[in-house]
Structure 1
């Protein structure tokens, strides 16, 4: 079980005017989010479209719009080349919908096969497009450099849209428009860009492209806000920070979805028996997202595009059930591979970076295994598999925030065939003959870059509350800080000296813990998900401190407040 070091935020000594009628903890929450003025507080709690940055600030977008509209007028065959994760599926879906249904373009989508073509543009995916007579390719959310491939196919024009680390050529230079068949690059990190915020999802870049197109075409009876629920989902599943315009995108996207649930969302929720739920970021990250991702992990991600773009309820129900079934299979495979991977860690526990290798492990699952190991051990992890040809190893990397894993791969790219990703997540491949040397260098690099304290599990606690503070009014105030996610975590609070009236394991596998705790005036139910093993020493009569999240609970028509426990310790300062 994880052992946490509690990092407790002291009460804020500063006070933002206008919020004195709220609980004092709100001032601490403002401070944690670097909110210092009433205006900043207002913008954060009640985000408006003023947070959105003008799409024209993306370098080259105007010229790219002109190029694409000319291609549409000329009836050229267009292909949208996406990626097989949620961000790529959403990007492909909304751009296809706009170009085909709103502009009448001759356009088709393609998502590469994870198993035969891999990430991004490949010789295989380009050949597919050549066979279909494609004239112009628009890439969305393709996460690796493809300069050689693009220059090798002058018969096709390319428009590149992306949000990953800005692409470089083989000499390490930034990608430019020097290739005559690159007709446009839309990227928030473009070296000439004046775009003020680059931590946006690929779907947001695509949405901005659609906005720029709409500003020229002025399609009637259409608003780009139609796509906000989808862009919001991509923002959450791609773990973009919920700051700046991302906050407006997610908050508004959720509101619009709950007002009129998109067909694909509705049927995915129904497949998970959550059709009556009010959509939250949780559903994006743990219900809708995993099911859409399952298509690309185990089958063909184009199924996700079909689900999000179909106008038929019967087709949507069929697609959603297929994705649900794939997700169940994915869950079973993840557990199995997780056990195999952990067996290899015994001799690596002194290293700052772990590497495990399997044979013919499903490429769509190794990233999930890497994520679970990284979360458990809080250190960089590379999960790799030897492909069936015996010559190539493919890998997925995950890392805590203190270690930029894509930069680490870049420093050893002479040993790699391909790589690409973000600071905390990446994919790569290499020749099997280079694996041992690559492993040694990566471990050595991490051991020199990371300190022991970098690997500690820190539980960040937003402040201390007492049970008497808990009220529905407080919960409503805390909810103003939503949506929660990367960069804006749900507040976690310390509750001290709680008397334990009852403690017992619950759930089908008895792996969760339910407690009844209280003080002189109050009693509350506490749930610790997956914490039964850790709670075996808690007995009635103990006094404990809890790090927990107060939540509204509805059951059998009754509404109450309960605590979701993240950790506990035996009390030492008894009042």
Structure 2
């Protein structure tokens, strides 16, 4: 699949030179800092040296005082408190964090995770009824609830109070909860708006410790859980999130909680974890619990106090992840086969595939894989509880939620955001939806949006990549949305030695420029370029720079994202 190479806009040259002089670093590095909004020494110090003192005052968040006061009252009166959260990574880490903290200060507590298949996402009537029937007078809802106006009103009739800790965008009306912690509230002046749901839970704990003069270690003990949520919920890794992610990765790599330690063991990876490792090794295993069976297994692992209990849960979740991968692979192959056998489907600007026997728990993953393959808005559908349920994914720049709004008369319900959504419909509407969705996408998407983009930070010469450059570049991490690993462009390189296949589709080689050292490279899924590279003709590459560790030997490696032969 061809990809567009897009070079970021040039930064202010004067600022670049000033910052380079202040920090005594290469102008290429200063340019990338300016691109990230870092324009002076103090900004750079905050960026390169994240510290706990950079965390914001939790009481700047609207309703935080109300939330802490209500929890203090509940503890003083020995009320039963229920910690309620979603079944994904953000929700389960949030529940584990808040439950673990308050359980040390109040014994009369439980947690509740809704069933993905019976209750669906967010606050459920079933969950509220459970709380009322079992004498819970306060529910702390995490990673959900900001749009549950009717559900909170129902809870109020049963004498069940809610504290909502959410990070999603509110609707026109806020629920009638005791307190609503959400930086995206229009009346909330909290300085950072992009916290994860677990991050909101961390700030609640932070506020409670400050109010009750508890040591800060009671907050920092949970940075690892918060870092996992930040990584896996794909929130911005800027500002306060970057501070938490940085400190959380330090804890993951030095002193993780027992549950995360067991997850790392079953994942089998040795060495230091990065945000990417958390996303691809820990996140899927936590998610697998709710996709395959019950997300409570994930919470039980993350709150475990004894290694034997945690190891048993870790092994169980690892098995569920293996089962999840089996469903994922099978359904992906079946979906790709459906598309490849249908010429009309291949030539569309959208993908909608349906099989009533597909496992609902993995259709979101399959939708992501189909989007990667064909790079167009994609919906994967299956039967669930008498209806047809779907997961949808989009491409860069295209508003999937708006497209679904154009099909709303064919849907029972839908929700999500620009790039990911969920939906349900009556079975008889599948064909009509497939046609309508294609019509909406075809008339609103641009040809440019249908070509995958590689966003390049800056152009460099290979000779510029020396030890100091790489040492400073590593400090740009942790990487994630709004602070992605820098992508570099280098023109007119040539293969040094030989290029070879690794597996069936990956390239392994070394490249040079006149006057530079040779750099080892890996190019995933780019085997089609091998015959050209062997000819010895120069070519352009775009890539990230990473550290490759092999048998305790560390080397700099270029991870090639694109090869351009067009000008040769």
Q: CA deviation at 1:499?
A: 2.3
The answer to whether the Cα contact below 8 Å between 1:546 and 1:565 also exists between their aligned partners in 2 is: yes
The 3-state SS of whatever aligns with 1:359 is: coil
The CA deviation at 1:221 is 7.3
**TM-score, normalising length from structure 2?**
0.91
Write the distance in 1 (CA, Å) between the matches of 2:9 and 2:282: 37
Say yes or no: does 1:67 pair with 2:64.
no
Q: Distance in 1 between matches of 2:208 and 2:289?
A: 30
Distance 1:175 1:221, change over 3 A: closer
Return 194-203 or 308-317, whichever deviates more. Answer: 194-203
Alignment counterpart, residue 505 of structure 1, candidates 501, 508, 519: 501
CA separation of 1:116 and 1:495: change in aligned 2, threshold 3 A: same
- Would the alpha carbon gap of residues 344 and 142 (structure 1) be closer, same or farther in structure 2, given more than 3 Å must change? farther
From 378, 399, 403, the counterpart of 2:375: 378
Q: In the alignment, is residue 232 of structure 1 matched against residue 235 of structure 2?
A: no
Q: Find the aligned partners of 1:128 and 1:411 in 2 and give their Cα distance.
A: 37
Q: Tell me the distance in 2 between the aligned counterparts of 1:303 and 1:504.
A: 44
SS in 1 for 2:231: helix
Q: Distance in 1 between matches of 2:266 and 2:525?
A: 24
Q: Is 1:543–1:571's contact at 8 Å kept on the other side of the alignment?
A: no
Instruction: Decide which of 133, 148, 151 is 1:149's aligned counterpart.
Output: 151
Q: Is the 8 A contact 1:164 1:422 kept in 2?
A: no
Q: State which drifts further: 473-482 or 416-425.
A: 416-425
Name the CA distance, whole Å, in 2 between partners of 1:221 and 1:4: 48
SS at match of 2:453: strand
1:118 alignment partner in structure 2: 120
Aligned twin of 2:20: 19
1:283-336 C-alpha deviation (Å, 9 max, x unpaired): 211111111111111111111111111111111122112222222222222121
Alignment of 1:330-409 (within 5 A): 330-345=324-339, 346=342, 347-387=344-384, 389=385, 391-409=386-404
Is 1:104 paired with 2:106? yes
Distance apart, 1:35 and its partner CA: 2.8
Shift of 1:94: 0.6
Match of 1:162 in 2: 166
Aligned ranges 1:147-546 → 2 under 5 Å: 147-153=149-155, 154-155=157-158, 156-166=160-170, 168=171, 173-177=172-176, 182-220=177-215, 222-274=217-269, 276-345=270-339, 346=342, 347-387=344-384, 389=385, 391-410=386-405, 412-413=407-408, 415-500=410-495, 501-507=497-503, 510-521=504-515, 522-533=517-528, 535=530, 537-539=532-534, 541-546=536-541
1:557 Cα shift? 4.1
1:351, distance to aligned residue in structure 2 (A): 4.2
Task: Please state which structure has a larger fraction of its residues in helix.
Answer: 2
Task: Tell me the TM-score normalized by structure 1.
Answer: 0.90
Change (3 A) 1:397 1:484: same
The worse-fitting range, judged by mean Cα deviation, of 332-341 and 279-288 is 332-341
Structure 2: how far apart are the matches of 1:174 and 1:437?
Answer: 33
Where structure 2 has 5 or more consecutive residues not aligned to the other structure, the ranges are: none
Report the alpha carbon displacement of residue 73 of structure 1 after superposing the two structures with TM. 1.8
Report how far residue 104 of structure 1 moved.
1.6
**Deviation for aligned residue 1:49:** 4.1
* DSSP-derived class of the 1:356 partner: strand
Structure 2 counterpart of 1:77? 80
1:377-417 CA distance string (max 9 Å, x none): 33322222122x4x311111222341333344456555444
Equivalent residue, structure 1, for 2:5: 6
Secondary structure (helix, strand or coil) at the match of 1:137 reads strand
How many residue pairs end up in the alignment? 557
Partners of 2:369 and 2:544 lie apart in 1 by: 22
Query: Secondary structure of 2:527's match?
Result: coil
Q: 1:97 to 1:493 in 2, by over 3 A?
A: same
Match of 1:555 in 2: 550
Shift of 1:534: 5.1
- Partner-residue secondary structure (3-state), 2:122: coil
Summarize the alignment of residues 16-55 of structure 1 with structure 2, pairs less than 5 Å apart: 16-20=17-21, 21-49=24-52, 51-55=54-58
Cα distance in 2 between the residues matched to 1:512 and 1:42: 39
Give structure 1 stretches of 5+ with no counterpart.
none
The CA deviation at 1:533 is 4.5
State the alpha-carbon separation in 2 of the partners of residues 109 and 411 from structure 1.
38
Structure 1 pair 386–533 and aligned structure 2 pair: CA distance change class (3 A): farther
Contact persistence 1:17–1:38 (CA under 8 A): no
The CA deviation string for residues 510-554 of structure 1, in whole angstroms up to 9 with x for no partner, is 332211333445322211123334545432534322212222223
Partners of 1:557 and 1:184 in 2: how far apart?
Answer: 51
The Cα of 1:373 is off from its aligned counterpart by 2.0
